[in-house]
Structures are given as structure tokens and as C-alpha cells.
A and B are shown apart, each in its own frame.
Chain A
Amino acid sequence: MAEGWGMPAAGEGEPRRGRGQGRRWLRPLLALLLTLCLAIPLLLLRPHALRGPRPLNATTLGHSEPRPVGERDRYSTLASAPAAVRAAPRITLGMHMKNAYNLSVPEQTFRPTAGIGSAGRRRCGS
């Protein structure tokens, strides 16, 4: 019989019970931890992650390199707008959400049925 961990050696009876044998499980655990310690930095520091996107295939259309998105849409309150803007003619809205259903969390959508009633106003506060 082949000799292995926990197997009695040829010519021996019971396996020897020494101090080292009780910790045999430590070896594979340490090996696993060592592998993870090596694999994780290698995965994180893969060469193309350092250099940017993968090189383009010569047969594709040849896109330009992506650049930062930069500024995006912003929202601000009307109260913080300059007085000239706040004095502009206005349309007033009466809003009513009749129902809301089909909320889809994975799709980040919902379906309402609603109504808006709009009326014009000549100027602020009129």
C-alpha cells in the first residue's frame, strides 16, 4: 500500500501519534492561504489593468481612447436661482399620481398613471 498521510507505513501497525500529526491539517490550510495571498494581488495587478483598456483589435472600427466623462447634468432648486430667472413667466402644475404599480427593483423602474393640470401665469407671484 502506498504510504500517505494518516496511512500506516509498510511494516508498521497503528499510525504514530506524535505532536506533528495532530496539525497535519494546517499544511493544506497554509498552502491555500499562501495561494490566495499570491493570486489576489496578481488578479488585481494584471498587466492590462495597469496600462488601461485592452488593445483594440486591428479588424474593428478603431475607436478613440475613452476620456473622462467630465461634467454631468446638475439640478438645483429654483429658490437658489437668480432673481431674474425667478421672475420669468411661469406655468403652474397641479399634479396627482393616481396609482403606482409594477415596481421593478432590478430594472429601477415603476409605472404610474398620473395627471397634470397646467395653467399659465404672467409673472412670479401673480
Chain B
Amino acid sequence: MRKLIDANKIDTDKIVEVVNNIIGYDFSVEPDSEAPILRPDGRRYQLFRFSGSFYIDEFDLADYPFHALSLPLLFETQPLSFSLDGPTPALLVPEPGQKGLLGAYATIKGYREVGVSVDPMIHHYATDFGHGGRQDYALSELRVYYRTPFLTAFLQWVMPLLIVMAVVFLAPSLEGSLGDLRIAIPSTALLTLVVMQQTYQAELPPLPYLTFLDKIYLYCYLVSIALFILFVWGSNAYTAADAASLERVKRRVARADLGFQVIAVAGLVVVALLAWHV
């Protein structure tokens, strides 16, 4: 390996690059020693410390706020001469049986650490960079896995929504004669839902798909608008009813209210299950 590096006149800090580093000027790398240290087994060793901003490649927020996250560090051989299809290929592999991959402070606020993995990989570039031939390079991946704590995420993001929806679900229990009071509830709930959804969406990147929480919110919007329509109908039915038909209308409105409550609550459970599994 040393002959290969010497023959190609490769600086030791140019052997490996971190491919998911995204801000070049923000990346610092410091060798621990000026030159590689010769070990008794004949191998040369050099330690580098680095810091920078790194891109998270696998970013699936479909289960948000109960999502998992993995933070990768992708190390790849940099010199063109180390291409695996070239005359002097070089591999980059993790030291077997490594322990202590994570330091004491490798924790992310709001996430629970799940595990860590190291894997030797090959990066197949889809371009030849104008050089001709295939461009495959050896890559070593260090990936740390995190997950949001279920209870915390539930209490932080789902519980407030359930409380607002509890008000919506209980609203039909108000006497049908209290039309003015009843009709104000769905519109207030809708406004609250919009503000709450904007709050959590501010924490997310623009996504081309709906998250778990998005689907629940969508259902809550539909329930709120359906409740508004129900109350409009109920209020008008009350207003239009004469003394003789008032009792009959009252029973009809009460029946519709109860039916709505049962269907809306059952629907929330079904939608939550479907949103989680589909």
C-alpha cells in the first residue's frame, strides 16, 4: 500500500475523503502527526481528526414523529489511481472488530440511540468524469442509528392534537338547541389545527409524501368540517321545526350527533392504524 501511495505521490490527507461532507469551507481536518508512524508490523499509521457539516442520505420521515434516523459518515478513497477498475485499485475497509465507535457525546437531543454499524462498501459512480471506463471506489460507512422516544413524541405532538379532537368529538354532546355555541366549535378547532400543523411542519423539510402526523391531521380536518356541516344542518333543522315536529327533530339531531361521534372516533383509530401500516 505504501508503495502505491509513494509511486502516485499521494499526500496522506488526500487518501480518504468524506463524501457526504457538504460545506467545504466548513470542513476541518487535522492530522495527529506530521507523517505516518511506522508500526512494528511494518504498517504505517496516521490519525486524523475532523469536523464539518454532513449530509444525511437516508431520511425517511414517513413515520414522523415516531421516525428513525441514521447519521452516516462515508469515507471513500479519493485518488483517481485508487479506482477499483484501474491498474492500482485500493480498498478501504473498517478495522475488524472495532469497539468504541461512539464517544460519550455522540447523542442527539430528542433522539434515543439505537445502534451503530460499520460496513465496507463500493461506490459505483454513474459517470466516468470524462476519464473513460467505470469509476468505482472503495468506501467505508460508519452509521449511527437513532429513534425518537415514543412516549415523548406522543406527548409532544399527538397528545395536543387528541385534546383538540376530544373537544370536537364531545361537541355533539351539547344540546342541539345550543346551535350558536355548537357551530363555533368546529371552526375554532380548524383554526387550532392549522396553527398546530404549521408548528410541527416548521421542523421538517419540504417532503414529497405525507408523514404519519400529516395523515392524522388530514383526517382531523375532514372530521372538523364534517362536524361543521352537521351543526349547520342541525341548527337549521331546529330553526325550521315547528312546535309539533320539534321533538321529532330533536331526536333526529341527537341520533345524527351520536352517530357522528361513534364514526369519528372509530375512524380516527382506523386512520391511525392505516397511516402507520401503509
Contact = CB atoms under 8 A, between A and B. Distances in A.
Interface of A: 17, 21-25, 29, 70-79, 81, 85-86, 88-103, 105-122, 124
Contacts of B50: 113-116
A89 B16 CA distance: 15
Interface stretch (B98-106, B150-158, B172-180): B98-106
Contacts of B109: 103
How big is chain B's contact interface, by range? Answer: 35 or more
B54 interface: yes
Top-3 shortest CB links A-B: A120-B1, A99-B105, A90-B91
B138 interface: yes
A122 B103 CA distance: 30
Contacts of B198: none
Interface of B: 1-2, 4-5, 15-16, 22, 39, 43-56, 59, 61, 69, 71, 73, 75, 77, 84, 89-95, 98, 100-109, 111, 118-126, 138-140, 142, 144, 202-205, 229, 232-233, 236-237, 240-242
Given A77-B121, A89-B90, A109-B56, 19 more contacts: A24-B236, A25-B229, A70-B126, A76-B121, A78-B122, A85-B122, A90-B93, A91-B91, A91-B93, A95-B95, A100-B71, A101-B108, A108-B205, A112-B54, A114-B142, A115-B49, A115-B50, A118-B48, A119-B44
B122 A110 contact: no
Contacts of A106: 202-205
A92 B107 contact: no
A74 B89 contact: no
Given A78-B121, A113-B49, A120 B77 contact: no
Contacts of A79: 120
Interface centre among B4, B48, B77, B120 (most CB of A within 10 A): B120
A97 B205 contact: no
Contact of A118 (B16, B54, B102): B16
A91 B124 contact: no
A91 B101 contact: no
Contact of A91 (B51, B77, B123, B242): B77
A88 B103 contact: no
